């Protein structure tokens, strides 16, 4: 597990840079035998130190972002982009190094922009793959608030810069703009967005979550990377995340989705969990939920590497 304590371009609330440590603290009270995934800890789970320079660049970029909000300055904005690019590069190098060593690699953010380097490393290591993206937001804005590497632009960057991400399947989206709707429509066949309102309408009309999940994962190829923004869940499960939105998946629905992917014959090649943020008063609920979701993702990724299972 590669932690990336970086949240420079968050546009509403900060705190995701403290997500990796919040998850680590909460993990000490997670029972390690899991009813669904068994004992993934036996495979060996290691939370590494952050890639060199990431935390320092995060603090410096945040200072410059806050100065920009007081006085717009294009040179300073470019400096923030440079720092974000350097973080992407550091994450890609670290993730790529462990992939070459034969490891299953997960990334813990940090804001969602921190996922780009990890996704790029997986594409360069494995070649073409699909991407399952759970999020309240489409993250398909171009250079949101003028930042090339904004947390709200990560999937736009993936689609534009990583053509070997053959399919992007999005689940739980409920906050998006007209630009993103147009981008989704323009890339039909590559981007499949399952809006939260549509999923719930079908559930209310009597469809089962099992049937919906089968449709969700159907376009994905044999090898899949999972990018999971915690705000894809109901915000009662992540009240301190940076941009909470009413609606979203229950914990059970999210776990069922990951399980269905892992048992479909596909392989989970890698994953990230981002936007987990502890409360300002030390509230550990977000870290608790994040630690448990992460353990499920690790377990199902390991199971998927062994082939289909009931």
Strand partners, 109: 4
- Other Cβ atoms less than 10 A from the Cβ of 239: the count is 14
**Torsion angle of C-alpha atoms 225, 228, 232, 234, degrees rounded to 10:** 130
pLDDT at residue 310 in the model: 42
Contacts of 82 (CB under 8 A, 6+ apart): none
pLDDT (tens digit, 0 to 9) for every residue of the chain, 310 residues total?
999 998 988 777 888 999 999 999 999 999 999 999 999 999 999 999 999 889 888 888 888 877 777 777 777 778 888 888 899 999 999 999 999 999 999 999 999 999 999 999 999 999 999 999 999 999 999 987 777 778 889 999 999 999 999 999 999 999 999 999 999 999 999 999 999 999 999 999 999 999 999 999 999 999 999 999 999 999 999 999 999 999 999 999 999 999 999 999 999 999 999 999 998 887 899 999 999 999 999 999 999 987 654 4
Residue linked to tokens 């982009």: 81
pLDDT at residue 20 in the model: 96
Q: Which residues of 137-176 are buried (b: 16+ CB within 10 A; e: fewer)?
A: bbbbbeebeebbbbbbbbbbbbbeebeebbbbbbbbbbbb
Strand partners, 233: 249
pLDDT at residue 193 in the model: 98
Whole-model pTM: value is 0.94
The C-alpha R_g of the chain, in whole angstroms, comes to 18
pLDDT at residue 307 in the model: 63
Nearest Cα neighbor of 227 from 91, 123, 135, 125 is 135
Asked if 177 contacts 193 with a C-beta cutoff of 8 angstroms, the reply is: no
pLDDT at residue 64 in the model: 80
């Amino acid at each position: 597990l590669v932690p990336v304590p970086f949240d420079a371009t968050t546009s509403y609330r900060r705190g995701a840079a403290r997500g990796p440590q919040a998850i680590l603290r909460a993990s000490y009270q997670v029972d390690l035998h899991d009813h669904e995934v068994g004992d993934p800890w036996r495979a060996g789970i290691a939370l590494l130190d952050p890639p060199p320079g990431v935390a320092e660049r995060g603090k410096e970029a945040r200072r410059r972002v806050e100065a920009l909000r007081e006085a717009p300055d294009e040179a300073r904005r470019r400096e923030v982009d440079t720092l974000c690019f350097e973080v992407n590069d550091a994450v890609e190098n670290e993730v790529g190094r462990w992939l070459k060593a034969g490891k299953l690699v997960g990334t813990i953010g940090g804001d969602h922009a921190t996922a780009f380097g990890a996704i790029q490393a997986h594409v360069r290591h494995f070649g073409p793959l699909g991407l399952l993206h759970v999020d309240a937001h489409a993250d398909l804005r171009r250079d949101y608030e003028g930042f090339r590497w904004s947390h709200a632009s990560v999937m736009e960057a993936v689609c534009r810069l990583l053509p070997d991400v053959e399919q992007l399947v999005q689940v739980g989206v409920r906050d998006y703009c007209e630009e993103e709707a147009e981008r989704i429509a323009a890339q039909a066949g590559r981007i499949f967005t399952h809006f939260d309102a549509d999923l719930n309408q079908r559930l209310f009309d009597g469809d089962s979550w099992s049937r919906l999940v089968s449709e969700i994962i159907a376009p994905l190829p044999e090898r899949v990377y999972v990018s999971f923004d915690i705000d894809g869940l109901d915000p009662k499960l992540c009240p301190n995340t940076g941009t909470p939105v009413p609606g979203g998946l229950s914990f059970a629905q999210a776990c069922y989705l990951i399980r269905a992917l892992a048992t479909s014959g596909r392989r989970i090649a890698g994953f990230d969990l981002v936007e987990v943020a502890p409360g300002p008063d030390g509230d550990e609920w977000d870290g608790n939920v994040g630690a448990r979701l992460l353990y499920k993702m690790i377990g199902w990724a390991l199971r998927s590497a062994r082939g289909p299972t009931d």
